[in-house]
């Protein structure tokens, strides 16, 4: 019998969503990839063996997500079978295009190994190394961790020293996490039952309609928010006010939504990457916990008055993020119906503090520089998403996506401009 462990929170959520709409949560839009360019001597055969080591050492890369005979959502670990990199030659001037083509080919969610690796011998003597995963098995941090591990395993192979093994595997960690919160699940259920009662999506304008005759049509906009010095100033302001950068940014989002929306009762989905234990901070896996945030913004609210409220909302949600958000919505059929049918649907606000682009990694005597990492795109039922990134240089940038079936670009840009203006005003006051 294959080793079987409970599905993690995010995996469970995707599987339930996929039961409702097959392919919605496991399609190619959920691919995640990372690419690095290696300068210096690189032995392809050794790299190929290191790639096999990566899959052998990380059970999550061999774990199929299934519904077992009792109806439980589980991850089933398959035995290791030798895997190989896709090896080819390419034009260095086309490195970006080569990476893009590779990442457009999805990873099956149910056919281990749950990663595909490629190395391209470029005509300038460098090598392009690409890894692609399915979001069901990895979170954003895991992209950089996987490339670092590949470099470590390659270096270990070249030195003749056995490569490092993870201190714990992802499946047993998930079981331990579930066991640790088992006695509080009913209390948490009642918290979420009370917290979301009567919540609704925030309409951005009267008269918006979703065009159900069209499939989801997502548009993405990459927009600047703060440069590195001002981001650092905002960080310091949050610290002085005993809060986090995420909670501070979400406060600005709530103020902007209340300014421009048709209600001051803000409902949003977010996701926390919970790697609280030291033994899992370097582990490849899916540590994302989607959860919901609800903030009532008073008419006279400002930064000073709203920050403590948002800080408490975020802390309460973080402490209860092990209760799947999809089950929270299941406690409120009226809320679930509203976010599924009303214009804008679910509003998502995320902050991603880590970006591996620019990271340098040793591959034996050679050096790799991470070129890019691509995150999973939104599923079709996400009407509006603000995803904030902290770039390696320290600046903050937003990727704003919206469904063109029911939202207009001018409304979304107006909302973003209001959010950016609120944040800029706070930073200006903080640095005076």
Question: pLDDT tens, 25-62?
Answer: 776 678 889 999 999 999 999 999 999 999 999 999 99
CA distance 106 to 73: 22
Residues 203, 166, single domain; the answer is no
Q: Residues for the chain: how many in total? A: 432
CATH assignment at residue 125: 3.30.559.10
The whole-number pLDDT of residue 382 equals 66
Cβ contact 15:73 at 8 Å: yes
**Both 123 and 208 in a single domain?**
no
Domain boundary among 149, 172, 195: 172
Question: In terms of pLDDT, which residue wins out, 150 or 260?
Answer: 150
Residue with tokens 């008269």: 207
Which of 172, 191, 214 is where one domain is finished? 172
What pLDDT score was predicted for residue 101?
A: 78
Beta bridge partners of 218: 403
Per residue in 123-135, pLDDT (tens digit) is 899 999 999 999 8
pTM across the whole model: 0.90
Check whether residue 280 and residue 160 sit in a common domain.
no
Claim to verify: residue 331 and residue 402 sit in the same structural domain: yes
Residue 27's contacts (CB-CB under 8 Å, 6 or more residues apart) are 106
Is residue 182 predicted with pLDDT exceeding 80? yes
In the prediction, which pLDDT does 108 show? 79
**Three-class HEC string of 369-386:** EEEEEECCCCCCCEEEEE
| pLDDT confidence band for 115 (50 / 70 / 90) | very high
Give the largest Cα separation in the chain, rounded: 67
* CATH, residue 299: 3.30.559.30
Whether the pLDDT of residue 322 is over 80: the answer is: yes
Residue 311 has pLDDT above 70, yes or no: yes
3-state SS, residue 424? helix
Residue 54 in any domain: the answer is yes
Distance in angstroms (rounded) separating the CA atoms of residues 194 and 328:
10
CA distance 330 to 334: 9
Provide mean pLDDT across the span 339-361. Answer: 81
Question: Would 402 be classed as within a structural domain?
Answer: yes
360 in any annotated domain: no
Question: Is the predicted pLDDT of residue 98 greater than 80, yes or no?
Answer: no
Residue 334: inside a domain: yes
The tens digit of pLDDT for each residue in 193-244 reads 999 999 998 888 888 887 778 877 888 899 999 999 999 999 999 999 999 9
C-alpha angle with apex 301: 298 to 303, nearest 5 degrees?
A: 145
pLDDT band, residue 372 (cuts 50/70/90): confident
- Asked whether residue 217 falls in the same domain as residue 326, the answer is yes
Are 79 and 202 found together in one domain?
no
Domain-embedded: residue 369 = no
How big is the CA angle at 399 (ends 380 and 120), to the nearest 5 degrees? 90
> For residues 343 and 205, is the Cβ–Cβ distance under 8 A?
no
**What gap in Å lies between CA 207 and CA 382, rounded to an integer?**
19
> 391 and 246 in one domain?
yes
The pLDDT, as a whole number, for residue 55 is 97
At 99, the pLDDT band (50, 70, 90 cuts) reads confident
Residues 273 and 202 in one domain: yes
Residues with Cβ < 8 Å from 88, sequence gap 6 or more?
Answer: 118, 120, 121
Q: CA nearest 273: which of 376, 142, 100?
A: 142
CA dihedral 67, 186, 329, 352 (to 10 degrees): -80
Instruction: Give the pLDDT mean for 335-357.
Output: 81
Structural domain includes residue 177: no
Question: Are 130 and 227 found together in one domain?
Answer: no
261-296: pLDDT as tens digits: 888 999 999 999 999 999 999 999 999 999 999 999
pLDDT tens digits for 390-400? Answer: 887 889 999 99
Residue that wins the pLDDT comparison between 393 and 63: 63
Q: How far apart are CA 286 and CA 350, in angstroms?
A: 16
Answer whether residue 368 is part of any domain: no
Q: Angle 317-318-322 (CA atoms, 0-180°, nearest 5)?
A: 90
Task: Tally Cβ neighbours within 10 Å of residue 68.
Answer: 10
Look up the domain containing 223 and give its range: 183-355+375-431
Check whether residue 140 and residue 226 sit in a common domain: no
Tokens of 187: 């209390």
My answer on whether 150 and 191 are in the same domain is no
**Interatomic CA distance for residues 192 and 181, integer angstroms:** 15
Give dist(CA 3, CA 273) in Å, integer. Answer: 25
* 8 located within any domain: yes
Distances (CA, A) of 116 to 42, 62, 87, 397: 19, 12, 12, 29
147 and 271: one domain? no
> At which of 172, 206, 231 does a domain end?
172
Q: In which element (H, E) is residue 269 found?
A: strand 265-273
Identify the H or E element spanning 3: none
Percent of the chain with pLDDT strictly greater than 70: 96
Look at residues 62, 59, 67 and name the one whose alpha carbon lies nearest to residue 15.
Answer: 67
- What is the domain count for the chain? 2
């Amino acid at each position: 019998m294959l080793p079987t462990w409970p599905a993690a929170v995010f995996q469970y959520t995707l599987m339930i969503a996929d039961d409702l709409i097959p392919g919605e949560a496991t399609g190619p839009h959920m691919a995640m990839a990372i690419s690095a360019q290696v300068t210096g001597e690189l032995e392809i055969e050794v790299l190929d063996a290191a790639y096999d080591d990566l899959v052998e050492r990380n059970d999550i890369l061999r774990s199929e997500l299934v519904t077992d005979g009792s109806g439980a959502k589980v991850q089933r670990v398959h035995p290791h079978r030798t895997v190989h990199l896709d090896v080819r030659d390419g034009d260095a001037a086309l490195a970006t295009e080569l990476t893009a083509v590779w990442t457009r080919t999805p990873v099956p969610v149910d056919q281990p190994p749950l990663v595909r690796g490629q190395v391209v011998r470029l005509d300038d003597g460098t090598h392009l190394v690409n890894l692609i995963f399915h979001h069901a098995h990895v979170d954003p941090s895991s992209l950089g961790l996987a490339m670092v591990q590949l470099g470590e395993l390659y270096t270990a192979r070249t030195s003749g020293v056995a490569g490092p093994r993870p201190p714990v595997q992802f499946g047993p960690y998930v079981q331990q996490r579930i066991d640790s919160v088992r006695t509080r699940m009913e209390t948490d259920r009642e918290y979420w039952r009370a917290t979301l009662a009567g919540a609704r999506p925030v309409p951005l304008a009267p008269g918006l309609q979703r065009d159900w005759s069209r499939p989801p049509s997502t548009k993405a906009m990459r927009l600047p928010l703060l440069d590195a010095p001002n981001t650092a100033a905002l960080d310091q302001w949050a610290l002085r006010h005993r809060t986090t950068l995420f909670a501070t940014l979400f406060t600005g989002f709530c103020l902007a939504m209340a300014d421009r929306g048709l209600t001051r009762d803000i409902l949003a989905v977010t996701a926390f990457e919970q790697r609280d234990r030291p033994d899992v901070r370097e582990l490849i896996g899916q540590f994302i916990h989607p959860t919901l945030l609800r903030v009532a913004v008073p008419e006279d609210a400002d930064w000073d008055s709203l920050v403590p409220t948002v800080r408490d909302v975020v802390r309460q949600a973080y402490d209860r993020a092990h209760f799947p958000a999809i089950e929270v919505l299941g406690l409120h059929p009226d809320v679930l119906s509203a976010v599924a049918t009303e214009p804008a649907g679910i509003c998502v606000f995320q902050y991603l503090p880590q970006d591996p682009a620019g990271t340098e990694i040793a591959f034996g005597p050679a050096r790799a520089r991470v070129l890019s990492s691509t995150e999973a795109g939104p599923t079709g039922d996400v009407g509006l998403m603000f995803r904030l990134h902290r770039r390696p240089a320290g600046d903050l940038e937003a990727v704003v996506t919206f469904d063109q079936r029911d939202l207009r670009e001018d409304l979304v840009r107006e909302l973003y401009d209001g959010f950016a203006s609120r944040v800029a005003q706070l930073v200006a006051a903080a640095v005076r």
